Structure 1
Amino acid sequence: MSDRVVIVGAGQGGLQVAASLRQEGFAGPVTLLGDEPGLPYQRPPLSKAYMKDGDESRLALKPASFFETAGIDYRPGIIVAGIDRPAGEVVLDNGERLGFDHLVLATGARNLRPPLPGIDLPGVHELRGLADAARLRAMAEGVRRAAVIGGGFIGLEFAAVAAARGIHVTVIEAADRLMSRAVTPPISQRFLDFHRAAGVDVRLGALGTAVLGGRAAEGVALADGQEVAADLVLLAVGVRPNMELAAEAGLAVANGIVVDGHLRTSDPRIFAIGDCANFPLGGIATRLESVQAAVDHARHVARTITGAGQPPYDALPWFWSDQGPLKLQIAGLSTGWDDTHVLTDATGAVDTVLAFRDERLIAVEAVNQAGRHMAARKLLAGAPVMWDRLQGLDWDLRAALAA
């Protein structure tokens, strides 16, 4: 009998596992379980393009015909209640059991909900899935003032769209700079300048303590005693990996589902990928909230299941964020940087930051510099690139590639 693969989670990573298995020649049964209705869809546009045009049809990753043609048993709207490891079965909430020889957990992450009084009032929104985005977009039609709690990618992407529609937006960020977990200070400053120039009221070092209102949200109270008036409040303070299924099944978890270099959990039949996986990257335990990582993880797991020999996973991480006319593209991880070199455009605005650790280039953050971003990805995926080499080339990444 052919091996059976069950995939829990039908986001971009889970779908890619199923597609890649077929591309790699896997002929056994493949079952893809999604907890949302409808076809698998792209999440990144939800806070950007979808918020502008509301065109749901452009989000689908594959048409319905794909699953029939590829022989993939796709089941939307399915809740997985548990994993019976001794029996090698996934248990659904309706009591049905699905046997597996290989199980892939692509369970993603969920939004953090800070313990704020008033958080459950009408008018308080999250933005993770399509249903969230549809509600938020519909609500925003009649809104004059919006408060965004959190100055990360999602909050700022929404803020840019809302401000462009004439909504007065206040961003409440507890840290002393925007996107502080993801970018270096010069990029934080570039985006702070942009949002403030666009009319967004950005409050740094500000802590929300309660959502104000009676029957619906009317604003946010801050720790310093100030109040921010708002008809709509968006919670965008980060996510938490969905690792409960794995933990209840006795798999190792720690800030995600712990996996090895081939994305196997502590049970060699079970893999974890994407936002829920804590994997080794350059010898460091890493969890990435990234479409690129989820898709690359998926391809790696498909090759492993089909027996293709390959080294441990080590793909270069890269990310992006569209905020108004600014496209931020990041290659590598700037975590632990100890020095930076800043490049500016003709107006003097920061358009690229090179981040170094121990004089070695570890990340490049580029704003509206697609060519430089692609050069950075190629450079960072190769041999180490040192400060003095780039300095000698006048910080020209393309020249470093050609050298």
Structure 2
Amino acid sequence: MAEPQRIVIVGAGVGGATAAATLRERGYAGEVVLLAAEDHPPYELPALSKGLLLGDTDEPDWVREADFYRANDIELRRDTAATRVELGARLVVDSKGGEHAFDRLLLATGSQPRSLPLPGADLPGVRTLRTLDDALALRGAFSTVERIVIIGAGWIGTEAAAAARKHGLDVTVVDRIAAPLRPVLGAEVAKVFQDLHAEHGVQWRLNADIARLTGTGSVDGLRLTDGTELPADLVLVAVGVKPRVELAHTAGLELADDGGVAVDATLRTSAPDVFAVGDIASHFHPHHGKRLRVEHWANAKNQGAHVAANLVGGEEPYTRAPYFFSDQYDLGCEYRGVADPDTDRLVVRGDLRERQFIAFWLREGRVVAAMNVNDWDNGDALGRIVGERLTVPEEVLVKGDLSSVE
């Protein structure tokens, strides 16, 4: 495959911006166009629900310094969204009427927050958290209200709850699930997070369904289907995201059953000169033998770095295990891999009650996922054990030297 003369990247989140930067760092000398729907320089998402929302910082982590793009001859078009992709003409049309011809195209359009199909969901005071502007607005609102209800007990919901408690708000978290993070961690490990938040004053309303959000001029609470009224000055909707695949769909690219853009092991779509990374990429993972669509920051960043070589003619498969981290109060954790907590076997090293442990999930004896909580000595070993899906005796996982596992 000949090296392309012009690469267009749609989406300047961490995946797209990292791909652009890596192209230059690998020595690619052709044209690089990076279309950014937001007016901010490209930034990373983790700080939005952590340090920035907590008030520990006023800025996110930038993918690169602001002058990097100009200095490296990357044509960064801020506040410019792609509106149409014409595969036959090899053309991207943008929201300002611009047309961008490409030899290779990378789609890194990310996700958008899911909304609630409920009465009152569009009231003022109902917010989501996805962008830098969202995070700054939400943090600003923390100083003007007393009570927040968070709908959704996933990672964003629980991190936002911790931040809101730091700012002194009364916090209630509502979800249909039986325990926070239960679908990812299973009941036993999820209880660690449920108890942690309860000790810090968070009120849980679990196994609960919402009938409507209430209020006239702005939101003043919500009503559960059992008739319970929960007052609120502010409501955060944190019920997950959906991939932005409209461009890919209208262009005629193949979509996968999980709602993402179908890509092969090298991150190439059904069109040979078009690739996709990040939240939208339903990637055939060689180690898992199936498609994975991962909505975490590290996946977008690592895929963006990896795809740069393939955009200029490489054929290397992407094989890294999914990874994410979370910080809540005095608990820090890292999670590697993909588990089904309902069917995979849980093995715990350390003490769940002390909140210092490693949880392993095993499938047919192989370690398919691991989460270290307030344990920072075994990261490299866990990365290798999970990344290679090693078969490790349970007694070694519980008490042995993880660094010596082969």
Q: If the TM-score is normalised by the length of the shorter chain, which range does it land in?
A: over 0.9
Partner residue of 1:261?
265
Find the residue that maps to 1:36 and give its secondary structure.
Answer: coil
Q: Which of 326, 330, 347 does residue 331 from structure 2 map onto?
A: 326
What letter corresponds to residue 300 of structure 1 in structure 2? H
Judged with a 3 Å threshold, the aligned counterparts in structure 2 of structure 1 residues 397 and 225 are, in CA distance, closer, same or farther, namely farther
Judged with a 3 Å threshold, the aligned counterparts in structure 2 of structure 1 residues 398 and 10 are, in CA distance, closer, same or farther, namely farther
Q: Which moved more, 1:155-164 or 1:55-64?
A: 55-64
Counterpart CA distance in 2 for 1:173 and 1:6 is 40
Partner residue of 1:341?
347
Q: Which moved more, 1:57-66 or 1:313-322?
A: 57-66
What letter corresponds to residue 338 of structure 1 in structure 2? D
Structure 2: 5+ residue stretches without partners: none
What letter corresponds to residue 174 of structure 1 in structure 2? R
Q: Which of 141, 165, 169 does residue 143 from structure 2 map onto?
A: 141
Counterpart CA distance in 1 for 2:15 and 2:400 is 31
Partner residue of 2:371?
365
Judged with a 3 Å threshold, the aligned counterparts in structure 2 of structure 1 residues 85 and 64 are, in CA distance, closer, same or farther, namely same
Counterpart CA distance in 1 for 2:353 and 2:262 is 46
Judged with a 3 Å threshold, the aligned counterparts in structure 2 of structure 1 residues 214 and 367 are, in CA distance, closer, same or farther, namely same
CA deviations 1:266-325 (Å, max 9, x no partner) are 101110100011111211111101111112211221111223453x21111111111111
* Superposition map of 1:268-347 within 5 A: 268-281=272-285, 282-310=288-316, 312-335=317-340, 337-345=343-351
Report the alpha carbon displacement of residue 349 of structure 1 after superposing the two structures with TM: 4.3
Counterpart CA distance in 2 for 1:316 and 1:2 is 29
Percent identity for Structure 1 against Structure 2: 36
Counterpart CA distance in 2 for 1:245 and 1:10 is 15
Conserved 8 A contact 1:17-1:301: yes
What letter corresponds to residue 311 of structure 2 in structure 1? I
Q: Which of 105, 108, 130 does residue 103 from structure 1 map onto?
A: 105
Judged with a 3 Å threshold, the aligned counterparts in structure 2 of structure 1 residues 196 and 88 are, in CA distance, closer, same or farther, namely same
Conserved 8 A contact 1:123-1:233: yes
Report the alpha carbon displacement of residue 58 of structure 1 after superposing the two structures with TM: 4.7
Partner residue of 2:251?
249
Counterpart CA distance in 1 for 2:244 and 2:354 is 43
Q: Which moved more, 1:184-193 or 1:103-112?
A: 184-193
Conserved 8 A contact 1:91-1:98: yes
Matched, 1:395 2:401: no
Conserved 8 A contact 2:284-2:290: yes
Q: Which of 170, 175, 178 does residue 176 from structure 1 map onto?
A: 178
Partner residue of 1:34?
36
Conserved 8 A contact 2:14-2:44: yes
Conserved 8 A contact 1:330-1:373: no
Partner residue of 2:386?
380
Partner residue of 1:199?
201
Find the residue that maps to 1:370 and give its secondary structure.
Answer: coil
Report the alpha carbon displacement of residue 184 of structure 1 after superposing the two structures with TM: 2.7
Conserved 8 A contact 2:356-2:374: no
CA deviations 1:6-57 (Å, max 9, x no partner) are 0000011101100111122111000011000021112111111101227434
Q: Which moved more, 1:234-243 or 1:370-379?
A: 370-379
The two structures have a TM-score, normalised by structure 2, of 0.94
Counterpart CA distance in 2 for 1:380 and 1:19 is 28
Find the residue that maps to 1:315 and give its secondary structure.
Answer: coil
Counterpart CA distance in 2 for 1:115 and 1:346 is 37
What letter corresponds to residue 320 of structure 2 in structure 1? A
Judged with a 3 Å threshold, the aligned counterparts in structure 2 of structure 1 residues 74 and 326 are, in CA distance, closer, same or farther, namely same
* Superposition map of 1:1-16 within 5 A: 3-16=5-18
Report the alpha carbon displacement of residue 342 of structure 1 after superposing the two structures with TM: 2.0
Counterpart CA distance in 2 for 1:59 and 1:383 is 31
Judged with a 3 Å threshold, the aligned counterparts in structure 2 of structure 1 residues 186 and 232 are, in CA distance, closer, same or farther, namely same
Counterpart CA distance in 2 for 1:36 and 1:75 is 9
Counterpart CA distance in 1 for 2:145 and 2:214 is 16
Matched, 1:69 2:42: no
Q: Which moved more, 1:232-241 or 1:200-209?
A: 200-209
* Superposition map of 1:211-226 within 5 A: 211-226=213-228
Aligned residues, how many?
399
Q: Which moved more, 1:298-307 or 1:57-66?
A: 57-66
Structure 1: 5+ residue stretches without partners: none
Counterpart CA distance in 2 for 1:375 and 1:394 is 11
Q: Which moved more, 1:97-106 or 1:362-371?
A: 362-371
Judged with a 3 Å threshold, the aligned counterparts in structure 2 of structure 1 residues 209 and 350 are, in CA distance, closer, same or farther, namely farther
Judged with a 3 Å threshold, the aligned counterparts in structure 2 of structure 1 residues 183 and 394 are, in CA distance, closer, same or farther, namely closer
Conserved 8 A contact 2:348-2:398: no
Counterpart CA distance in 2 for 1:373 and 1:204 is 33
CA deviations 1:182-230 (Å, max 9, x no partner) are 2232221000000011110011111122111111111111111111111
The two structures have a TM-score, normalised by structure 1, of 0.94
Matched, 1:112 2:114: yes
Report the alpha carbon displacement of residue 352 of structure 1 after superposing the two structures with TM: 2.1
Counterpart CA distance in 2 for 1:139 and 1:233 is 11
What is the CA RMSD across the aligned residues, in angstroms? 1.8
Counterpart CA distance in 1 for 2:205 and 2:400 is 35
Conserved 8 A contact 2:52-2:59: no
